[in-house]
Structure 1
Amino acid sequence: MNDKQYVIDDLSAKESWRIFRIISEFVDGIENLQEIYPAVTVFGSASITESDPVYDLGRKVGRLLAESGFSVVTGGGPGAMEAANRGAFEAKGKSVGLCIQLPREQASNPYTTVRINFRYFFIRKVMFVKYAVAYVILPGGFGTMDELFEALTLIQTNRIKPFPVILIGKDYWKDLVSWIKKTMLVKHRMICPDDMDLFQAVDDPAAAVAAIKRIVII
């Protein structure tokens, strides 16, 4: 009986210490990021290489955002994240990487001026949205979709103030946008017509930045 009780107490103690680690990550994030506002968070695939056209899109949007006075925030990894950080870094802007610890270690990119490592995805996600005045979404996979739809959900449910959500690359996004409209909206009425206005798709990084600047005044 005592052994069983000891195991239970031990597990409870471990859970308690985990809470302190979570609090520590929140404090670390807030203390290190309080000077980056206004920021635009850029998402996209970690898998693309420098020769991919998407890399060029990310680099351009990072540069244009930095030149317009925005900090550029990414997940701090390779691919599209590196591209956006690189554009901001080369434009002498604030280039922020919010890195995550993964079982298969994802190398951080070398183009950040501020870098924070997170153990917990949910804390990292809070930091992505806390300082953002807009989201820019480059082509990506499940992680990118996760961030996109979380932002749309938070805006839709009035959990955060509405901000621009810009998808870059119309050809990549057209089937998803069509499915949202035809299936979610028209066929099944799972969303409202106004929900289609929560995001927009463009092809040109300059158009993405212009769309943000029409709404966000800094």
Structure 2
Amino acid sequence: MPNSPDEIETLDEFDQVITGRSLRGFRLQGLDLTNRTDELLTADAADAVFLGCRLMPKAAAHIRAQGALVFPPVPHLPFDPYRGLLYTPEELFAGLGTGYGSTPDSLSYSWFQQTKHDGDILASMLRSIHDDHMSDALDELLVGKHVVGVMGGHALKRGTEAYAAAVRLGRQLAREGYTVATGGGPGAMEAANLGAYAAPFDDDMLDEALALVGKVPSFEPSVSDWAHAAFAVRERWPGGGDSVGIPTWFYGHEPPNAFAGHIAKYFANAIREDGLLARSNAAVVYLPGAAGTVQEIFDAATPNYYESRGEPVPMILVDREHWTERLPAWQLLTSLARGRSLERRIALVDEVGEVPAALARISAAG
């Protein structure tokens, strides 16, 4: 049945509901219903809402006559603003064989670049609708999940020990039953998603996977080569563990990584960042990063300080030298936390391998 009582997001869900001959009050999102005309012509569609669904003209006329509200698909877009599900890597990278520039991910970024400053209210509305649907789908996916967010910079290269350590962290968190969520991009983010993907496999798989992706250390200069290396791992070891990536087209130079099974990609970076942190309900781990990671530390510190979302979520910073000397965020964080509930919910560790123990210690302290 549908994910929510009144939402139909797949054809399988439509086929289950239509057996009762009533779509009354349902919201149907981004479906191709051109082969369901006979069913629609005999269904009660009063008060239903069709968001970007493809319909034959007679079916559209019939449901409108019954009082349904129909928002037609918007032509010539590289994305579906009404889609009801999160993206998969295969969807965003479709057409990669002819180059990254021809993929829906790259084309959507190009559309964003062309429209973000032109003041077109239609483009602005479409971006907002798309992002709202991403949030809705993300909420449905994560119901009841214990989510650990792993934050870190995009510059971390494959083939380094730091990258491998982040991979092992993602694998251990996934094996302990957590849902790993990252910013969905390259570097430390990809590493944590790869670790979650590797969770069902043995150490030999992990070593071989690291060697395979290590042949293309960075997405620069070629996103295509970088993505192909990731898909080579997925093809050699299908059925890996699941995780979530939450990237943004705002940072168009950062492609999404192919190891997150579910990708919530946003146009609005502010909504994306707040949503990622708000959904990390079990803990947030901060690997070494630059401005973006610093921002994420204090984006999380603010609601934790005021307890606006309830009990502060554990925050674990990794690499003492980085967070106390290069970018001394730890000193400010501890000053903010002093004398508050947040004080017992933060930790600074030297290495990635210490994170699980630190998380267990914080959790036990309550």
Residue 246 (structure 2) aligned to one of 98, 118, 121: 98
With 172-181 and 118-127 compared, the bigger mean Cα shift is at 172-181
Q: Does 1:171 align with 2:321?
A: yes
**Structure 2 unaligned spans of 5+:** 1-118, 201-240
How do 1:57-206 residues align onto structure 2 when only pairs under 5 Å count? 57-92=165-200, 93-102=241-250, 104-132=252-280, 133-160=282-309, 161-175=311-325, 176-177=328-329, 179-180=331-332, 185=335, 191=336, 193-194=338-339, 197=343, 198-206=345-353
Partner of 1:31: 140
TM-score by length of 2: 0.49
Please identify which structure carries the higher helix content. Answer: 1
Structure 2 counterpart SS, 1:194: coil
With 20-29 and 199-208 compared, the bigger mean Cα shift is at 20-29
CA RMSD of aligned residues (A): 2.7
Higher Rg of the two aligned structures = 2
Q: Does the Cα contact within 8 Å between 2:286 and 2:316 map onto a contact in 1?
A: yes
- How many Å separate the matches in 2 of 1:115 and 1:79? 16
Instruction: Show CA shifts across 1:85-106 (max 9, x none).
Output: 1111101343211121136342
- How many Å separate the matches in 1 of 2:355 and 2:313? 13
Partner of 1:208: 355
- How many Å separate the matches in 2 of 1:52 and 1:157? 38
Q: Does the Cα contact within 8 Å between 1:58 and 1:83 map onto a contact in 2?
A: yes
Amino acid at match of 2:179: S
Instruction: Show CA shifts across 1:97-137 (max 9, x none).
Output: 11211363421112112212111123222331333210000
Amino acid at match of 1:78: P
Q: Does the Cα contact within 8 Å between 1:54 and 1:138 map onto a contact in 2?
A: no
The percentage of aligned residue pairs carrying the same residue is 28
The CA deviation at 1:192 is 5.9
- How many Å separate the matches in 2 of 1:53 and 1:205? 11
- How many Å separate the matches in 1 of 2:277 and 2:330? 26
The CA deviation at 1:18 is 5.8
- How many Å separate the matches in 2 of 1:14 and 1:61? 40
The CA deviation at 1:56 is 2.2
The CA deviation at 1:214 is 3.3
How many residues in Structure 1 have an aligned counterpart in Structure 2?
200
- How many Å separate the matches in 2 of 1:15 and 1:79? 30
The CA deviation at 1:170 is 1.2
Structure 2 counterpart SS, 1:200: strand
* Residues 64 and 179 of structure 1: CA distance in aligned 2, closer, same or farther (over 3 Å): same
TM-score by length of 1: 0.79
- How many Å separate the matches in 1 of 2:122 and 2:167? 46
Q: Does the Cα contact within 8 Å between 1:54 and 1:139 map onto a contact in 2?
A: no
Instruction: Show CA shifts across 1:142-180 (max 9, x none).
Output: 111111111111100111221210011112112215653
Where relative contact order (Cα < 8 A, 6+ residues apart) is larger, the structure is 1
The CA deviation at 1:22 is 4.6
Please identify which structure carries the higher strand content. Answer: 1
Q: Does the Cα contact within 8 Å between 1:43 and 1:136 map onto a contact in 2?
A: yes
The CA deviation at 1:15 is 6.2
The CA deviation at 1:51 is 3.1
- How many Å separate the matches in 2 of 1:99 and 1:177? 24
